[in-house]
Structure 1
């Protein structure tokens, strides 16, 4: 299964591959060159399909848990000052996605969207300390009765040129469902209330909609 955001790119990839196969069959007589072009075209198509994959996942909805919003690796767990919405200290958990990860963003918890804003910006590497404040990004706040308000931020990386965010203020969202997409390597930051028990460690690999980031005991 593939994400809807990849429809146009996948179609272009299929057309490109078909054209290369057709042209190489009719106009290239050198066998090694013909095979090389065909293999290259198939390789590009496989990369595109791999990037836009959207695996179906059975999510165990649980109001006492915050789930990973994306696939990737935990690169930050620390107390920071969040200055856009809360304007106070929060516990930040950041997940870095490489180009080979699934890039679907999922809602980390169920609740009501209280805030959703897009920010144009730079394209620093996603692990840069200032990426959360200076890169192209979206900021979304979900609120429920268990955790209160939790903020997540989709951040573009050096290669990411488009962030897709489906969250709109006032929406009632369900944990684990599709919240958007980020094209190419990027990062998602979670900002949790101080004192929230975190269930992951630095450098741990997480799976969106499956791995438990935090538990309210």
Structure 2
């Protein structure tokens, strides 16, 4: 990512820097690095080199780049990096229904699939108060399957903005992912694009858009957590499929 150095008067200097590794992943990087060092110390080159690549991949998986969240009234941003694989109107999961959730009517769901090569830090779609966090243990089916929304390990989160708009999203563990890690709890106030959790090693996030908000992404489009606009009041949904 880019960072701003202290500029001279009338100038701005942009310097690229390596993304940091999130604290949640540092122990995995250290373990992989220790194994690599052991193999190298023992002169087991056929094991040391592949393990070095694994160490780099683990560090990349837990990378935590800085994101610049767009500002605007009613904007809803993507909570995850990945590929938009489903956009459809669906019945809400039971955990998101009712007065403390998103109501009882079907809403448009945007599903974002995160491969093992994507950034796995999840961010809140809007600024507001966390109204509920519901964790459910479950299976570890392929997260790209539709039934993963109902059967896999998952965590439902509802955020309510200052003007009363509510957005819900669901973190879903996948075939490789084995743990959902949350950073927030009910009652917390969060900024738009703030880090709210991560899912280890491949997963999916579903976002439920409020009634009247059309999705601003198309199938096959890649999203960037905290930056890609998923919904904007007053705009129609784009047509087509990302090429």
How high is the TM-score relative to the length of structure 1?
0.91
Deviations for 1:188-208, whole angstroms, at most 9, x for unmatched residues?
A: 000112221211001111111
Cα distance, 1:62 vs structure 2: 3.0
Tell me which residue corresponds to 1:187: 204
Q: 8 Å contact 1:146–1:216 — kept in the other structure?
A: no
| Aligned: 1:113 with 2:124 | no
CA contact (8 A) 1:63 1:110 kept: no
Distance in 1 of aligned mates of 2:42 and 2:163: 60
SS in 2 for 1:84: helix
Aligned to 2:28: 9
Unaligned runs of 5+ in 1: 25-33
Structure 1 residue ranges (4+ consecutive) displaced by more than 6 angstroms after TM superposition: none
The answer to whether the Cα contact below 8 Å between 1:106 and 1:177 also exists between their aligned partners in 2 is: yes
> Separation in 2 of the partners of 1:44 and 1:164?
22
List aligned pairs for 1:8-87, cutoff 5 A.
8-24=27-43, 34-82=44-92, 83-86=94-97, 87=104
Q: Aligned with 1:129: secondary structure?
A: coil
Aligned length: 208
Deviation at 1:167, TM superposition (A): 2.2
TM-score, normalised to structure 2, is 0.82
CA distance in structure 2 between the aligned counterparts of 1:54 and 1:12, rounded to whole angstroms = 19
Match of 1:163 among 170, 176, 180: 180
SS in 2 for 1:88: coil
Do 2:174 and 2:202's aligned partners in 1 also have CA atoms closer than 8 Å? yes
Distance 1:88 1:199 in 2: 21
Q: Which string of whole-angstrom CA distances, capped at 9 and with x for unpartnered residues, describes residues 118-171 of structure 1?
A: 100000100111111110000000011457111100000010001011221111
Q: Post-superposition shift, 1:74?
A: 0.6
Gaps of 5+ in 2: 1-19, 98-103, 235-243
For the aligned residue pairs, the C-alpha RMSD in angstroms reads: 1.3
- 2: CA distance between counterparts of 1:95 and 1:165? 18
> Given that residues 103 and 182 in structure 1 are in contact (C-alpha distance below 8 angstroms), is that contact kept between their aligned partners in structure 2?
yes
Q: Counterpart of 2:3?
A: none
Is the helix fraction higher in 1 or 2?
A: 1
